[in-house]
Amino acid sequence: MPTLADKRAAFARLHKAGCFVMPNPWDVGSAKFLQGVGFSALATTSAGMAWAKGLADGEVTRDVVLAHVAELSAAADIPLNVDFENGFAADAAGLAESVRLCVAAGASGLSIEDYTGDPGEPFYPLEVAVERIRAARKAIDATGAEVVLTGRCEGLLRAKPPLEEVIARLKAYADAGADCLYAPLVTTRAQIEAVVETLDPKPVNVLIGFPTELTVGELADLGVRRISVGGALAKAAWGGFMQAAREIAGAGTFTSFAKAPPTGDITGPMGR
């Protein structure tokens, strides 16, 4: 069984060359299943975890997230990247403490985003966002652990700034010490090419949380190093659950169960 140091080293190597998919489980069962079907790394989903707890994305506390990280990291033999939102702290000192706790919980990587959580002032000013990435980098380095830091720009997800502004922020995060760069909703070939080419040689994460004609192979050809799916797998699971539940509640019938997989197809990849 690999140690945490082994998993962290494996995660760092994945960012050196090639392209890998890092799907997003929301609990131990989904994490074990994804490991069992052959993925080389996993990532938490803040949305999927929140929904499982009856909350909206962004409503989960730091302590709950840290417990979730510890549980998933212990359950999986492959690296776990953490969607650590904005680090659960307004200032750099608080952010550094949060990052230290996330590393201690078993993260092989973590992302820090520039969204404040305040709809009125949604983004940290660039200089503040850069200082927060520097604080995260320093906190990781102080632990002595080989943990990949991802700088995440929320611009396209929360507003509609020019792509050049998003790329400028990502470049600043790279200069501040981020190992990997990520901007959710960079979706078209032209956008992806622009981000990858400008930030080269830093690895870029692309989110595919929606139907697309792009394949893993095509994304690799565009120079993408890492692909995640956010809450999309959790949404897919909720879709089947919602359809069956509404059929029972509304029509009083059970035909949706015909789409359910055999038990062995669920537990087999988990090793059960």
Q: Name, in order, each residue with C-beta under 8 angstroms of 209's C-beta and a sequence gap of 6 or more.
A: 184, 229, 230, 231, 232
Question: Does a structural domain hold residue 264?
Answer: no
> Which percentage of the chain shows pLDDT scores above 70?
100
Beta bridge partners of 150: 111, 180
Question: Does a structural domain hold residue 150?
Answer: yes
* Strands 204-207, 180-182: pairing kind: parallel
Interval 173-183: pLDDT, tens: 999 999 999 99
Question: Does a structural domain hold residue 263?
Answer: no
Domain that holds residue 220: 4-232
- Span 41-49, mean pLDDT? 98
* Strands 148-152, 180-182: pairing kind: parallel
pLDDT band at 159 (very low <50, low <70, confident <90, very high): confident
Question: Does a structural domain hold residue 90?
Answer: yes
Question: Does a structural domain hold residue 102?
Answer: yes
Q: Which CATH number characterizes residue 82's domain?
A: 3.20.20.60
Question: Does a structural domain hold residue 251?
Answer: no
Interval 96-139: pLDDT, tens: 999 999 999 999 999 999 999 888 899 999 999 999 999 999 99
Question: Does a structural domain hold residue 205?
Answer: yes
Interval 5-24: pLDDT, tens: 999 999 999 999 999 999 99
Q: What is the mean pLDDT of the chain?
A: 97
Number of domains in the chain: 1
Question: Does a structural domain hold residue 245?
Answer: no
CB-based contact 83:45 (threshold 8 Å): yes
Q: What is the pLDDT of residue 160?
A: 84
In the chain, the N- to C-terminal Cα span, in Å, equals 17
Q: What is the DSSP letter of 112?
A: E
